Amino acid sequence: MDLRGFWPRSTLGRTVLLLAVLLLGAQGAVYVLFHQYVLNPAAARFAEFLWQTDHALIIAGADHTPTGTLQWRPSRDLPGAPASNYFLRQSAHYLTKIAPGAALRVGDADATWMWIRGDRHQPWLGIHVSPMHFGGQGFMFMRLGVIALCTLLGAWLIVRQINRPLARLAAEAPRIGRGDMPESLKPIGGPLEVRHLEQAITSMASDLHRLHEERTLLLTGISHELRTPLSRLLLTLHLQDHDLLAEKTAMLVDVSEMDETIDKFLTLVRSGDQEKIIPVQVNDWVAAMAETARERYGLEVRVEHPGEAAVLPPLRCRPLALERVFRNLFDNTRRYGGGRLDMRIIRHPARTEICLRDHGPGVPERDIGPMNSGTLPRQSGHGSGLGLRICRRIMALHGGTLHFANAGTGGLIAHLSFPDQGD
């Protein structure tokens, strides 16, 4: 027989079932312990008290009258009936252990008369006592019903605290699967584990949303950027042989342009997050980047270091990825910045900033905001477009920021800020 068919499928059903089994087990344990260590010893002491009372009255020569609060019956009689409840049955059991032939019987259902015989040859002593109500099956079922009701209410409250945030997250799951960002998902409390799950799913949704946007950017960007050089190559291939050879240089330029475009898009996807992190000295790094700008890009570079009193902590970075940020900025300086570049290191509390200023015309003020927020879609000027997305991604990978601003005397300043990081 497969017991899995009886296992509830809902959280509420499982919780109620487990709590019911737990409470029934606890009730059973309490029942056994109570009878073993409380009720049975009390019955033994009660039996000893009854036997001593009967023995004392017989020794004292009590009047064996058949009426009054103390009544006597001959030993051959059987007054009353055997005890029907557990306590009196146990008392009768212990009474027979005290003396052979001793017995205990009750006169009515309420046990208002108890008949004691200390020995089989002694008369029965009847004692009028107050009614003794021990409850019955009705009381037991009523108690179990109250426990079951409280269990169901408690289970509902517990499961509700868990299911509410889970239901909210389940409702957002289709949007997350489509790549949408569930911005409407607000903190909803609940147990600590559920809050951690909510934070993890929200973070996962942000990552999926970012991956969805990058996939769209990658496909549309490659399609847009490669269409023009591919069209030129297609038209060139239809030329005569001598004209085709004349266009060889232009074809090589188109191929180089396509290779550079594909490399940029692949860089955007990778961003160097698999590269090993190593510590570097900021002064040494800036000096190496300045030398690269001079040799590879033909720039006129001037480096300004902080004062001798400034203590620069090591910069933990992915060298190849971070070098790509500087190379992108160097390339922009060569194209739009007049070929001159000033590099400056500034030490702030808890962070180090590297500023790169060119001496070009700058960018329109309307483009500064979109450049700093990463929303400038196309290369409409200095430091925007796909290269900007790559730079912002790599800086975020280092825990830093990239901020642009026009210089007061002309030119564009790129602020690269790196927070201090422990070992």
Task: Give pairs for 95-101: CB < 8 Å, separation 24+.
Answer: 95/47, 95/50, 95/51, 98/47, 98/48, 98/51, 99/51
Q: Taking 70 as the threshold, does the pLDDT of residue 378 lie above it? A: no
* Whole-number pLDDT of residue 416: 95
C-alpha closest to that of 336 among 375, 301, 363: 363
Domain boundary among 84, 113, 134: 134
What's the pLDDT tens digit per position in 403-422? 999 998 889 999 999 998 76
Query: 197 phi and psi, to 5 degrees?
Result: -65, -40
- How many whole angstroms from its chain centre is CA 66? 79
CATH code for the domain in which residue 403 is found:
3.30.565.10
In which residue are the tokens 């601003």 written? 405
Asked if residue 198 is part of any domain, the answer here is no
State which of 112-126, 338-352, 370-384 shows the largest mean pLDDT: 338-352
Q: What is the DSSP letter of 421?
A: -
User: Which of 48-62, 143-157, 374-388 shows the lowest per-residue confidence on average (mean pLDDT)?
Assistant: 374-388
* Whole-number pLDDT of residue 223: 65
What's the pLDDT tens digit per position in 172-220? 777 766 656 656 556 656 667 767 777 777 777 777 777 777 677 666 6
What's the pLDDT tens digit per position in 62-103? 666 666 677 888 888 888 888 878 888 888 889 888 888 888
Query: What confidence category does residue 1 fall into, taking pLDDT thresholds of 50, 70 and 90?
Result: very low
| 194/150 Cα distance (integer angstroms) | 25
Average pLDDT over every residue of 371-398: 69
State which of 22-31, 74-83, 344-353, 379-388 shows the largest mean pLDDT: 344-353
Q: Taking 80 as the threshold, does the pLDDT of residue 151 lie above it? A: no
Domain boundary among 134, 161, 184: 134
* Whole-number pLDDT of residue 414: 94
Asked if residue 222 is part of any domain, the answer here is no
* Whole-number pLDDT of residue 381: 40
3-class secondary-structure state, position 77: coil
Residue range of the domain that includes 111: 3-134
Query: What confidence category does residue 134 fall into, taking pLDDT thresholds of 50, 70 and 90?
Result: low
Asked if residue 151 is part of any domain, the answer here is no
Asked if residue 49 is part of any domain, the answer here is yes
Query: What confidence category does residue 382 fall into, taking pLDDT thresholds of 50, 70 and 90?
Result: very low
Asked if residue 160 is part of any domain, the answer here is no
Query: 278 phi and psi, to 5 degrees?
Result: -135, 155
Average pLDDT over every residue of 105-112: 70
* Whole-number pLDDT of residue 261: 66
* Whole-number pLDDT of residue 190: 64
Asked if residue 395 is part of any domain, the answer here is yes
State which of 67-76, 142-151, 228-237, 293-302 shows the largest mean pLDDT: 293-302
* Whole-number pLDDT of residue 53: 85
Q: Which two tokens stand for residue 180?
A: 């949408």
* Whole-number pLDDT of residue 404: 94
What's the pLDDT tens digit per position in 297-327? 899 999 987 766 567 889 998 888 888 889 8
* Whole-number pLDDT of residue 63: 66
| 84/133 Cα distance (integer angstroms) | 12
Higher pLDDT, 122 or 161: 122
State which of 82-86, 108-112, 151-155, 267-271 shows the largest mean pLDDT: 82-86
Q: Taking 60 as the threshold, does the pLDDT of residue 263 lie above it? A: yes
Asked if residue 64 is part of any domain, the answer here is yes
| 29/17 Cα distance (integer angstroms) | 18
* Whole-number pLDDT of residue 412: 93
Higher pLDDT, 145 or 303: 303
Q: What Å distances lie between residue 34 and 15, 30, 93, 146, 150, CA to CA?
A: 28, 6, 18, 20, 23
Q: Which residues of 190-199 are buried (b: 16+ CB within 10 A; e: fewer)?
A: beeebeeebe
* Whole-number pLDDT of residue 341: 94
Sign, CA dihedral 330-336-338-344, equals: negative
Pairing of strands 278-280, 300-304: unpaired
Q: Which two tokens stand for residue 244?
A: 């085709």
Asked if residue 15 is part of any domain, the answer here is yes
Domain boundary among 134, 159, 178: 134
> Structural domain tally of the chain?
2
